[in-house]
Amino acid sequence: MATVLDTIEFNEEGFMTDPNAWTKEIAEVIAKGEGIENLAENHWIIIDFCRKTGEETGKAPTLRQITTGTGISTKELFALYPKGPAKKVAKISGLGKPEGCV
């Protein structure tokens, strides 16, 4: 079955290699693969923040940068992206693995 991911390249850890190839449809498909069936409004607030940070710095933001930058609490961030939000959010946003530690 053809999907929007067919033409997209991923590295061995599952992160997109070209952030510019990212689209919202791709995000939705990757999210499903990560166990998130529907991306709600607050999911998108986080993704938009990550995309903006990615464009400005070339890097995926850390979890703390996400919570301070979006005003979404740590609790909600972990509820929206359960079991490993750091990698999940970066993957869904089409960015590389976050490099910061906090």
Partner 1 sequence: MTEKKNRHIAFICSKGDLDMAYPALIMGWAALGNGVDVTIFFTFWGLDMITKDRCNKLEMAPVSKTSMKMKMMGLPTGNLGIPNILGIIPGMTAFTSWFLKKEMKKLGVPPIKEYIEMLSDGGAKLYGCKMTVDMFNIKKEDFLPQVNDVVTASDFIDMTEGAEIVFI
Q: Does 75 bind partner 1 (CB under 8 A)?
A: yes
User: What residues have CB less than 8 Å from 96, skipping those under 6 apart?
Assistant: 11, 15, 19, 59, 60, 90
Interacting residue with partner 1 among 4, 5, 45, 63 (CB under 8 A): 63
Q: Does 12 bind partner 1 (CB under 8 A)?
A: no
Quick note: the x/- pattern for partner 1 over 21-60, rule CB under 8 A, is ----------------------------------------
Q: Which is nearer to partner 1, 39 or 63 (CB)?
A: 63
User: What residues have CB less than 8 Å from 45, skipping those under 6 apart?
Assistant: 70, 72
Interacting residue with partner 1 among 58, 65, 71, 93 (CB under 8 A): 65
Q: Does 5 bind partner 1 (CB under 8 A)?
A: no
The answer to whether the Cα torsion of 73, 101, 54, 18 is positive or negative is negative
Whole-Å CA distances, 28 to 17, 58, 64, 68, 93: 17, 22, 23, 24, 10
Chain positions contacting partner 1, by CB under 8 A? 62-65, 73-75, 78, 83-88, 98, 100-102
